[in-house]
A and B are shown apart, each in its own frame.
Chain A
């Protein structure tokens, strides 16, 4: 029996994936573990490996096409194996698409796409406009099914084309975004336009926290960082604030028993936000190396897809980069994100005199569909209490 290659589930949020590129052609002989194709989810891109030795048969799904989890991508057949019979186009829609492609007149010979031998499909109007603009139709990204190019796609290129600059002025250049930055751009834009954000900012008294970092630094290996202690405090405090650890789903609050904290990590290719699962249940000795390991592998781009999925709350710390405070965009579908600034020393009027006091400014961004200002304020108060009296977290 042939081995089926399906769109895998790479995390609990994942429903579909987009085919980035096929790395093999129909009929190619592969060994188990060979990369077959690259897919993109909304969080990561991922190479799918051959599940067995054999020949790749019945490839379906074109580059750029989005398929649901579980959809068949291809079969791997050993010599003599046949692909299952019902695996003609899998459903009515696919049949219709196939029929469409047979019917659409290909009036002009389109140049073959050198990579895969497929031809560009473009409407006559798109071809005419491209010819008039001096644009090669193969260079136009089609928005239709299977990348079919419509007139609007060509016209968008015209508007996107840089205007002719007078001599002497540098024309702006364009460079492609890294995949991480591109996904980040889409996700933050969606979150910022769809999720009603509000922001709560307060200074947290941090003398005890800083002391703890210094004290544990001499007694623990690896030494805990301020971020890691904050992750611990936040994770455990969230246990009594389930709204902020939940998410808004179709008019209801989805509650999560585990606190899966994401830690924002800046990398050379953009922001990566790995997840520390069940952070609330980890001891300090488990949590510290756990965070350090995630951060390091995030910087090295060595995270597994499941380590980027399933977060319930995010912490973003720019304090080490000198930022006093900032407002973060919620990492949807989570309900909140905590933006952490640097440790500052501020004067406080106490007992008739000014005394120096270390504080950290934090800003909690909250999805207003999930929680109100008072919910957020109570969380920050509990967090403050914990930072002053760590025994509260026991």
Chain B
């Protein structure tokens, strides 16, 4: 961390600060999306930016994700550094072809002659009562696509540092925010700094169980770890920060110490990215460090319900994490439910 001054700001402000800093620094950086201009973005992330940079660099679009993500892909190919904002990550289905068949493939197919240094920022996740079409966690889809990077910072500090790294990156980076993280506050340095893509962070040390997680779930995991500590169980929490490329080495090192692994993810359990985490651990040498079958805490395999009680019921919660860890220590795991 630089030695310069810092102050407490929100996750929303940290994201904005990274964009503003990059745009002041590099005229090729611009922001594009629905309502990002005068309205300041659906979640207020870009508030004030159109006033500073004008409508040429903070560009409001029609409801046309395929169109403007395609536009940004082209701009990136031509050497610009576009940031596309998708109002809800659920809408990413509209620009799947641009992302999966174009942005992810171009650098490879042109033998490195062209590249797509684009950032696609978008809030995912549930917990806001926004129902099945505005609450999904679809990040695992993109973990599955070589050529894309997927980051999912959980703190204001990481949000600023990772966004600056994403803007610098020569590849397309999906930058997952979370609606429930925007108001979370933390000390963040004034100066620009980079958090490297692809490096996990141990945010809490413990001897008894490793909890691997990312995004909003990182905070649930920390809450669970505090509750577990009161029961005599010390959990080590690993915040992945980047889902692709995945830093399984950090998790493996932790599992070597604890012998137990619980993954906490907000996406649905089946074929979620937690499955990838566990696969990497059991495929490698770290398999032999496992003293219990690994476990996952994830959303149920259902559309997110509108009803708040049902939504809570199917989502991961800190209590479910505590239960999962205790079940694992009691050796009652291994049941697919």
A105–B259 Cα distance when bound, in Å, is 15
User: What chain A residues lie within 8 Å of B287 (beta carbons)?
Assistant: 107, 124
Measured CB to CB, the closest approach of chain B to A181, in angstroms, equals: 30
- Check B291 for interface membership: any CB of A closer than 8 A: yes
- Check B336 for interface membership: any CB of A closer than 8 A: yes
Within 8 A of A (CB), among B259-297: 259, 282, 287-293
Considering only CB atoms and an 8 Å cut-off, how many residues of chain A contact the other chain? 20
- Contact check, A103 vs B293: say whether CB atoms are below 8 A apart: yes
A309–B226 Cα distance when bound, in Å, is 47
Measured CB to CB, the closest approach of chain B to A393, in angstroms, equals: 55
- Contact check, B291 vs A96: say whether CB atoms are below 8 A apart: no
Main secondary structure on B side of the interface with A: loop
Considering only CB atoms and an 8 Å cut-off, how many residues of chain B contact the other chain? 15
Measured CB to CB, the closest approach of chain B to A8, in angstroms, equals: 29
- Contact check, B288 vs A125: say whether CB atoms are below 8 A apart: yes
Q: Are A103 and B259 CB-contacts (below 8 A) given A123-B292, A124-B290?
A: no
A105: contacting residue among B282, B288, B331, B332, CB under 8 A = B282
Query: Considering only CB atoms, which chain A residue lies closest to B335 in the complex?
Result: A99
Query: Considering only CB atoms, which chain B residue lies closest to A128 in the complex?
Result: B288
User: What chain B residues lie within 8 Å of A103 (beta carbons)?
Assistant: 293, 334-336
- Contact check, A148 vs B331: say whether CB atoms are below 8 A apart: yes
A127–B333 Cα distance when bound, in Å, is 19
Within 8 A of B (CB), among A117-154: 123-128, 144-145, 148, 150-152
User: What chain A residues lie within 8 Å of B282 (beta carbons)?
Assistant: 105, 107
User: What chain A residues lie within 8 Å of B334 (beta carbons)?
Assistant: 99-101, 103-104
A256–B224 Cα distance when bound, in Å, is 48
Q: Are A124 and B288 CB-contacts (below 8 A) given A103-B293, A103-B336, A105-B282?
A: yes
- Contact check, B291 vs A126: say whether CB atoms are below 8 A apart: yes
User: What chain B residues lie within 8 Å of A127 (beta carbons)?
Assistant: 288
Query: Considering only CB atoms, which chain A residue lies closest to B286 in the complex?
Result: A124
A144: contacting residue among B290, B331, B335, B336, CB under 8 A = B331
- Contact check, A125 vs B293: say whether CB atoms are below 8 A apart: no
Measured CB to CB, the closest approach of chain A to B257, in angstroms, equals: 11
Measured CB to CB, the closest approach of chain B to A157, in angstroms, equals: 15
Instruction: Name the residue in A125, A127, A150, A151 with the highest tally of chain B Cβ atoms < 10 Å from its Cβ.
Output: A125
Scan B320-337; emit 1 where CB is below 8 A from any A CB, else 0.
000000000001111110
- Contact check, B335 vs A96: say whether CB atoms are below 8 A apart: yes
- Contact check, B335 vs A128: say whether CB atoms are below 8 A apart: no
A127–B291 Cα distance when bound, in Å, is 9
Within 8 A of A (CB), among B122-136: none
How many pairs of A and B residues are in contact by the CB < 8 Å rule? 50
Query: Considering only CB atoms, which chain A residue lies closest to B292 in the complex?
Result: A123
Measured CB to CB, the closest approach of chain A to B255, in angstroms, equals: 9
User: What chain A residues lie within 8 Å of B289 (beta carbons)?
Assistant: 124-125, 128
User: What chain A residues lie within 8 Å of B290 (beta carbons)?
Assistant: 123-125
A263–B124 Cα distance when bound, in Å, is 73
Query: Considering only CB atoms, which chain A residue lies closest to B282 in the complex?
Result: A105
User: What chain A residues lie within 8 Å of B292 (beta carbons)?
Assistant: 123, 150
User: What chain A residues lie within 8 Å of B333 (beta carbons)?
Assistant: 100
Query: Considering only CB atoms, which chain A residue lies closest to B289 in the complex?
Result: A125
Query: Considering only CB atoms, which chain B residue lies closest to A127 in the complex?
Result: B288
User: What chain A residues lie within 8 Å of B336 (beta carbons)?
Assistant: 99, 103
Within 8 A of B (CB), among A85-107: 96, 99-101, 103-105, 107
Measured CB to CB, the closest approach of chain B to A205, in angstroms, equals: 56
A222–B80 Cα distance when bound, in Å, is 112
A145–B288 Cα distance when bound, in Å, is 20
Measured CB to CB, the closest approach of chain A to B120, in angstroms, equals: 37
Measured CB to CB, the closest approach of chain B to A241, in angstroms, equals: 43
User: What chain A residues lie within 8 Å of B293 (beta carbons)?
Assistant: 100, 103-105
Measured CB to CB, the closest approach of chain A to B209, in angstroms, equals: 13
Measured CB to CB, the closest approach of chain B to A272, in angstroms, equals: 36
A152–B259 Cα distance when bound, in Å, is 11
- Contact check, B335 vs A100: say whether CB atoms are below 8 A apart: yes
- Contact check, B332 vs A150: say whether CB atoms are below 8 A apart: no
B291: contacting residue among A104, A145, A150, CB under 8 A = A150
Query: Considering only CB atoms, which chain B residue lies closest to A99 in the complex?
Result: B335
A341–B136 Cα distance when bound, in Å, is 79
Query: Considering only CB atoms, which chain A residue lies closest to B288 in the complex?
Result: A128
Measured CB to CB, the closest approach of chain A to B263, in angstroms, equals: 16
Q: Are A151 and B331 CB-contacts (below 8 A) given A103-B336, A105-B282, A125-B259?
A: no
Query: Considering only CB atoms, which chain A residue lies closest to B293 in the complex?
Result: A104
Measured CB to CB, the closest approach of chain A to B49, in angstroms, equals: 50
Scan B28-44; emit 1 where CB is below 8 A from any A CB, else 0.
00000000000000000
A124–B293 Cα distance when bound, in Å, is 9
- Contact check, A100 vs B332: say whether CB atoms are below 8 A apart: yes
Measured CB to CB, the closest approach of chain A to B262, in angstroms, equals: 15
Within 8 A of A (CB), among B239-261: 259
A85–B331 Cα distance when bound, in Å, is 29
Measured CB to CB, the closest approach of chain A to B182, in angstroms, equals: 39
User: What chain B residues lie within 8 Å of A125 (beta carbons)?
Assistant: 259, 288-291
Within 8 A of B (CB), among A205-241: none
A100–B295 Cα distance when bound, in Å, is 12
Query: Considering only CB atoms, which chain A residue lies closest to B256 in the complex?
Result: A125
Query: Considering only CB atoms, which chain B residue lies closest to A151 in the complex?
Result: B291
A148–B334 Cα distance when bound, in Å, is 14
Chain B interfacial positions (CB closer than 8 Å to A): 259, 282, 287-293, 331-336
9 contacts between A and B (CB under 8 A): A96-B335, A99-B335, A100-B334, A103-B293, A104-B293, A123-B292, A125-B259, A128-B289, A150-B292
6 more contacts with CB within 8 A, not counting A107-B282, A123-B292, A148-B331, are A99-B336, A100-B332, A100-B335, A124-B287, A124-B288, A124-B291
Nearest 5 Cβ contacts at the A-B interface: A103-B334, A125-B291, A128-B288, A100-B334, A151-B291
Chain A interfacial positions (CB closer than 8 Å to B): 96, 99-101, 103-105, 107, 123-128, 144-145, 148, 150-152
